């Protein structure tokens, strides 16, 4: 499995709306974090880590990052996923999606 996001803090922003088909054939709405996304960032609403955040990756690690670190994580994970043979339930290439709490 390529390096990909598994979970993260709820104070992440900057992804575009997209249906994630990795968890459901019907898809669920999520934020998609594509390679080259410069809008990905950590917000202070709610105040959690003072514009820092944590991302759990498929290798079992948890990476604490600022905006620059998040941008690097997004780019590395997106590129790895797009170049891999891993596919969604619909057979499409998968992407970094973040499911936010409602």
3-state SS, residue 46: coil
What is d(CA 54, CA 67) in angstroms, rounded to the nearest whole number?
11
What is the pLDDT at residue 63? 94
Tell me, what's the pLDDT at 1? 56
Report pLDDT digits (tens) over 59-98: 999 999 999 999 999 999 988 888 888 888 888 888 888 8
* 20-55 pLDDT, tens digit each: 887 778 888 889 999 999 999 999 887 788 889 999
- Residue 97: closest CA among 61, 55, 62: 55
Q: Return the biggest CA–CA distance within the chain.
A: 39
Which phi and psi (to 5°) does residue 68 adopt? -60, -45
Q: How far apart are CA 2 and CA 49, in angstroms?
A: 27
pTM exceeds 0.75 for this model: yes
**Dihedral sign from CA coordinates of 11, 17, 20, 24:** positive
**Model pLDDT, residue 20:** 85
Taking the C-alpha atoms of residue 101 and residue 68, their distance in angstroms, rounded to an integer, is 24
Question: Using an 8 Å Cβ cutoff, are 16 and 32 in contact?
Answer: yes
């Amino acid at each position: 499995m390529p390096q990909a996001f598994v979970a993260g803090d709820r104070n992440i922003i900057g992804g575009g709306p997209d249906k994630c088909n990795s968890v459901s054939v019907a898809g669920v709405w999520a934020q998609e974090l594509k390679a080259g996304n410069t809008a990905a960032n950590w917000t202070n609403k709610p105040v959690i880590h003072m514009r820092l955040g944590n991302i759990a990756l498929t290798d079992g690690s948890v990476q604490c990052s600022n905006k620059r670190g998040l941008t690097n994580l997004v780019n590395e994970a997106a590129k790895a996923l797009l170049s891999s043979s891993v596919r969604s339930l619909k057979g499409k290439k998968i992407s970094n999606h973040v499911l936010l709490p409602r």
